[in-house]
Amino acid sequence: MHHIEQVYINGEFVSPHGTERFDLYNPATACVIGQVRLADAVDGERAIAAARAAFPAWSKTTKQVRIAALQRMHAAVAARHDDLLEAVVEEYGAPASRSAWMASYPAEVIAQAIAALEAFEFTTVAGAARVEMTPLGVAGLITPWNSDAGFICGKLAAALAAGCTAVIKPSEMSALQTQIVTEALHAADLPPGVFNIVTGRGDTVGETISRHPHVAKISFTGSTRTGKAILRNAAENFTRVTLELGGKSPTLILDDADIKQAIPLAVQAGLMNSGQACVAGTRILVPQSRKAEFEQALALAVAAVASGDPRDAKTVVGPMVSERQWQRVQGYIQKGLAEGARLLAGGVGRPEGTRDGWFVRPTLFTDVHNQMAIARDEIFGPVLCVIAYRDEAEAIAIANDTDYGLSALVLGGDSGRARRVAQQIQAGRVLVNTLTHEPKAPFGGFKHSGVGREMGAWGISAFMEPKSILS
């Protein structure tokens, strides 16, 4: 059993004022594997005060001092790779393909921030003005459970690069990953108060951060619903926000696509991270003229996806993170059937050969129209919809007929045409015939998928305000 009893404030592990114990589960067994003592609003206030006290000195540090600090963070987080790997399998159920990435990404994203900081111009000239990029102040960093360690490191590295200090409120469900990252960051020997980590509930610690007049910036990754609540709270103090929210991304297969190349990419895009990915391509748009052919190939591919024990090397889809998430996925599969969609693979219940854990059957529906709940709502599980379109214009219209706009994938034989289609899709990131991730590019969403961008110079600028000086 894991017992996590302390939070991290002002450079020290301390017992929180909060006394609530929150159970941690292994989603592959549905068994309790530990408990975390949660911070409360008082701890949130203390962490903000520590970050505020550390801001004047940190904001005046040179680029070289910040790069050196980020390099120490990078080395310390990289050294905990194996511990992170075990934690993401144990508390999260990440299968091999995902867990390897989740264990290495936290250090990688710090390295990306170092490269961005090295190239960052803090002072530029605009006409007669000298424009100085100025750090905003204390940053509140709020992360979700689906890649907790990576989001902590990415947001913190960008905030510190900009000269901000930080209060981090990680997801209460990812306390093992948070503990490992906190120990690593402590070992990086940054000045006390520059970063503080208080694991607690969203409606206590999260609300304290998003309403606080001494927090100048919120960087949040999580659901669109919580993002709206944070935006409302932030309005009171004009707190700047970056919001990375949900998605219902389209995979648009053009009529000239090579089926052998398109199907593996479409299935991988839809089922990444066991379907629990903000960028998952869960709406697969196929040409009416080739509908039967794509249905058959997709059905075979989804039915062949191994869902079960994350420690089995063959597993592609691991368990859902919680019983609540499992119930939500079951509910949407039932809703799809009730709405008249036709099941091509999967369905309700657990996959054969699994028991106890929160395992789901990778599921594929067809005869879906874009107004059905399964085509509109972010399910956050391995449930894919096939939607047929008549022509390219209708395909683009369906792709854009969503509240979200985080990511999209276009698959087609003529790459020039596929790129022209990509340009017409309203999403922060559109991939054409590839699933490659480019960490140097800005990341974020259109519409209800968020506000602002992370990564690269965009990510650092998000923690700053330009100041024009004329003399």
Residues in contact with ligand NAD by CB under 6 A are 142-146, 169, 171-172, 201-203, 206-207, 210, 221-223, 226, 229-230, 244-247, 278, 378, 380, 406, 445, 450
Q: Select 146 or 366, whichever has its Cβ closest to ligand NAD.
A: 146
For the CA atoms of 345, 346, 351, 357, the dihedral, rounded to the nearest 10 degrees, stands at 140
Q: How far is the CB of 193 from ligand NAD (least distance, A)?
A: 21
Residue pair 279/264 in contact by the 8 Å Cβ criterion: no
Element (H, E) at 218: strand 217-221
- Write the CA distances from 83 to 104, 106, 196, integer angstroms: 11, 12, 21
Q: Select 99 or 226, whichever has its Cβ closest to ligand NAD.
A: 226
Q: How far is the CB of 145 from ligand NAD (least distance, A)?
A: 5
Is 278 among the residues known to form the active site? yes
Is 164 among the residues known to form the active site? no
Q: Select 332 or 389, whichever has its Cβ closest to ligand NAD.
A: 332
Q: How far is it, in rounded angstroms, from Cα 211 to Cα 200?
A: 16
Residue type present at position 443: F
Which of 176, 206, 200 lies closest to 21, judged by CA?
Answer: 200
Q: How far is the CB of 144 from ligand NAD (least distance, A)?
A: 3
3-state secondary structure 143-211: CCHHHHHHHHHHHHHHHHHHCCEEEEECCHHHHHHHHHHHHHHHHCCCCCCCEEECCECHHHHHHHHHH
Q: How far is the CB of 245 from ligand NAD (least distance, A)?
A: 5
Residue pair 438/430 in contact by the 8 Å Cβ criterion: no
SS3 assignment, position 366: strand
Q: How far is the CB of 259 from ligand NAD (least distance, A)?
A: 29
Residue pair 91/23 in contact by the 8 Å Cβ criterion: no
Q: Select 34 or 144, whichever has its Cβ closest to ligand NAD.
A: 144
Q: Select 125 or 238, whichever has its Cβ closest to ligand NAD.
A: 238
Of 244, 295, 378, 454, which one is the catalytic site residue?
244
Of 153, 164, 278, 385, which one is the catalytic site residue?
278
- Residue closest to ligand NAD, measured at CB: 202
Point out the residues that are catalytic.
244, 278
